Structure 1
Amino acid sequence: MAMKSKTFSLLGLIFCLACLTALIISFASDKWVVSTETEVVGFKNLGLWSVCFEMYQPPPYALVDRRYDGCWWVLDKELELLRHYLFPDWFVGTQVLVTLGLVFELICLIGQIVNIINCFPHSRFKEKITLGISLTAGLLHGITGVLLSVAVIMFGVRASNSSGWIEKPDQNYLSWSFGM
């Protein structure tokens, strides 16, 4: 029985590491939405936490009279005037959901490691503690799955259908980071 439990714990750890790796790559990359133009002038690409422009002049309805060039962190002070236009509520909601998913996955990883290295070898409640940690990790995996599903659906639908969000929506597509 102990060998079977150890095998499931190792499989859980491998699953957790794979999920966490994909989530970190997606979280940190700037390729959620990418422009298809070969001669890009304006919007280039966007991730959850960075956006890249090349001589970008926001549209008149954005009420910003400035050009942007290069890649920017979304919370940069220079993007303050553009934030209401470029990062609508649904985008911020996606950031929150993905961030919560990342935190929950990190907690799952810690729980899996605690179970595998047997942190409670002499406790009389060892089996209950191990079971509790495993159930908590499984529950957090489930919650993470729901959070990330909602985030991906919300971002995919809104990014594809928000014609006033980024100009030339027909020349932008959801890229590999979004798919991770």
Structure 2
Amino acid sequence: MPDFGLNVLSKSAVLLLIVSSAFIIVAFSTDNWLANDGTRKSHFLKIGLWNACFDDFKDIRHHYDRSFTGCRHVLDEEYHFIDDFLRPPFFIAVQTFFTFCFICMLIALGGTAAYVLCFTYDYQVFILQALGWVTLTGGACGFIAVVVFGALGDSRDWMPNYEHNFLSWSFALAVVGTYGMIMTSVLFFVEAKIQRRKIEATESNATFALDHPVKS
């Protein structure tokens, strides 16, 4: 990574944010949060935050005699008939919190780019603290999302043949990305504290020099 006037801790925070963001983007946009293991014929194939894939799937409550095949957006008009089954309250909560995580990630990336490219000592501590809070908020939202989905996504009360379903790689990337966001926030807060102490020490030395001028 180019120097950009950053120290090792700042570089580590920036690099970790970039890697975590890559994981979150992939998790946010792919369809493998929950998948069928394929060992048994199943009408459910896989689902992500925004797409669900079925093979001749019919409403398990038998409210509709319509079947669904292929992958579609969960808000697609075709899935309107099974929306209350497809998106129970816990899944809507997961979508909401992970979307907040995604938005915080975008804000953090923009703020970090501004910090790196338009570096200014005048607002250094403030910017680092702001980045710390944004990444911590994003990490907290992501943490809630993955905990809720981990607890309820693979339960017997949602997709059929639950014993043959498993939490898949998109979910794993969401977990890693969320953890990375939280660790990034820690690095930003630590760096802000270090820089504040440096500024206070510099100001203290300057005050001491003014109060005790060197006599020739």
- Normalising by structure 1, what TM-score? 0.87
1:88-127 maps to which residues of 2 (within 5 A)? Answer: 88-118=88-118, 126-127=120-121
Q: Which stretches in structure 1 are left out of the alignment for 5+ residues?
A: 120-125
Q: Is the 8 A contact 2:74 2:86 kept in 1?
A: no
Q: Residue 158 of structure 2: SS of its match in structure 1?
A: coil
| 1:81-140 deviation digits (Å, cap 9, x = unpaired) | 111011101101000101100110111111111111126xxxxxx424222111111111
**2:83 alignment counterpart:** 83
1:56-67 maps to which residues of 2 (within 5 A)? Answer: 56-59=57-60, 61=61, 63-67=63-67
Query: Where has structure 1 moved over 3 Å in runs of 4 or more?
Result: 38-41
Q: Is the 8 A contact 1:49 1:74 kept in 2?
A: yes
Query: Percent identity over the alignment?
Result: 25
Q: What is the aligned counterpart of 1:136 among 126, 130, 133?
A: 130
Indicate yes or no: 2:28 matched with 1:17. Answer: no
Letter in 2 for 1:27: F
- Larger Rg: 1 or 2? 2
**1:122 alignment counterpart:** none
The alpha carbon displacement at 1:62 in A equals: 5.4
The alpha carbon displacement at 1:38 in A equals: 3.9
Q: Residue 153 of structure 2: SS of its match in structure 1?
A: helix
Q: Is the 8 A contact 1:41 1:55 kept in 2?
A: no
| 1:12-59 deviation digits (Å, cap 9, x = unpaired) | 221111111000011111001111124644100000000001111221
Q: Which moved more, 1:33-42 or 1:77-86?
A: 33-42
CA-atom RMSD, angstroms? Answer: 1.9
Cα distance between partner residues in 1 of 2:20 and 2:170: 14
Q: Which moved more, 1:29-38 or 1:98-107?
A: 29-38
Cα pair distance change 1:111/1:49, threshold 3 Å: same
Q: Residue 45 of structure 1: SS of its match in structure 2?
A: strand
**2:48 alignment counterpart:** 47
**1:35 alignment counterpart:** 36
Q: Is the 8 A contact 1:9 1:116 kept in 2?
A: no
Q: Which stretches in structure 2 are left out of the alignment for 5+ residues?
A: 174-216
**2:214 alignment counterpart:** none
Cα distance between partner residues in 2 of 1:138 and 1:88: 33
**1:123 alignment counterpart:** none
Cα distance between partner residues in 2 of 1:34 and 1:133: 41
Cα distance between partner residues in 2 of 1:23 and 1:92: 18
Across the two proteins, how many residue pairs are aligned to each other? 170
